[in-house]
Amino acid sequence: MAATLALLAAVLTLAPGPVAAVPEPDPKPTSSPDRTADPADPADNQSQFESATVVSGLSMLVERPDERLVAERDTTYTIAVNNSGKDSEKLTIRVTVPPWMSDPDPLDGGWLGDGFVDWPLTVAPGQVATMRLTGAYASPERDAPTRMAFTACALDAGDDEPIVCDTDIAQLAPAGPGTRWWLVGTLLAVAAALAGAVGYRVRRRRAHPPAPAASG
């Protein structure tokens, strides 16, 4: 009997007690934090692409900071490409330089060719890449077009086929009087020289009047 009670006490001692329920951890949020756009950099603002045409996850914009396009005055174009797809895109950004633009200056690693500028780059998903080009247009002549089209395209780096493009079209205003002060200064200098020459002759005549003619 004593042995039976000892065996029963050992069984009760080894039996597991009630297991306390462990609360499950809160699920982690699946949404990533919003990207903070830099208001000072318009190309970093995703909202600017809302009205742009999207092809294969790519969209492009061409922008100018100046409201008016004035001849003989430098202007800077900003080309922005946005990759809203899921894969990285190996691209060539190509700009067709208008023939009326003199001395185009590509920035941000651009390469100037014969009538075009190329930027080779890879755009990661969710990334916005920006490039710039500076140049000035010659004054329009009577028979020359006055509306300038500046086109940029994103080309597939493998076959050079355009994927998506954007164009900025603006009326080219002639150079204003404020851009030709050198001509005004030249005319004033010529007028001052002529006035000085006339004044010198008048003073000389007064200092040395001609002798009276001898009477016959």
Is residue 154 in a domain?
yes
Alpha helices in the chain (DSSP H): 2-14, 181-207
Report how far residue 148's alpha carbon sits from residue 166's, in angstroms, rounded to the nearest whole number. Answer: 14
pLDDT digits (tens, 9 = 90+) for 30-64: 333 333 334 345 444 566 777 677 888 999 999 99
The pLDDT of 80-85, averaged and rounded, is 95
Contact between 59 and 27 under an 8 Å Cβ cutoff? The reply is no
Is residue 19 in a domain?
no
Contact between 142 and 39 under an 8 Å Cβ cutoff? The reply is no
User: Count of CB atoms within 10 A of residue 113's CB?
Assistant: 11
Is residue 215 in a domain?
no
User: Count of CB atoms within 10 A of residue 58's CB?
Assistant: 21
Handedness of CA 115, 121, 124, 130 (dihedral sign): negative
pLDDT digits (tens, 9 = 90+) for 91-143: 999 999 988 898 899 999 899 999 999 999 999 999 999 999 999 998 877 65
Is residue 65 in a domain?
yes
Return the closest-CA partner of residue 107 out of 79, 83, 126.
Answer: 79
- Mean per-residue pLDDT of the chain: 73
Is residue 89 in a domain?
yes
Is residue 28 in a domain?
no
Return the closest-CA partner of residue 148 out of 43, 70, 81, 60.
Answer: 70
State the residue range of the domain holding 161. Answer: 42-178
What letter represents residue 130's amino acid?
A: T
Report how far residue 76's alpha carbon sits from residue 117's, in angstroms, rounded to the nearest whole number. Answer: 14
pLDDT digits (tens, 9 = 90+) for 62-81: 999 888 899 999 999 999 99
CATH number of the domain encompassing residue 71: 2.60.40.3670
User: What's the domain count of the chain?
Assistant: 1
Whole-prediction pTM: 0.60
Helix (H) or strand (E) holding 79: strand 75-83
Is residue 11 in a domain?
no
Is residue 3 in a domain?
no
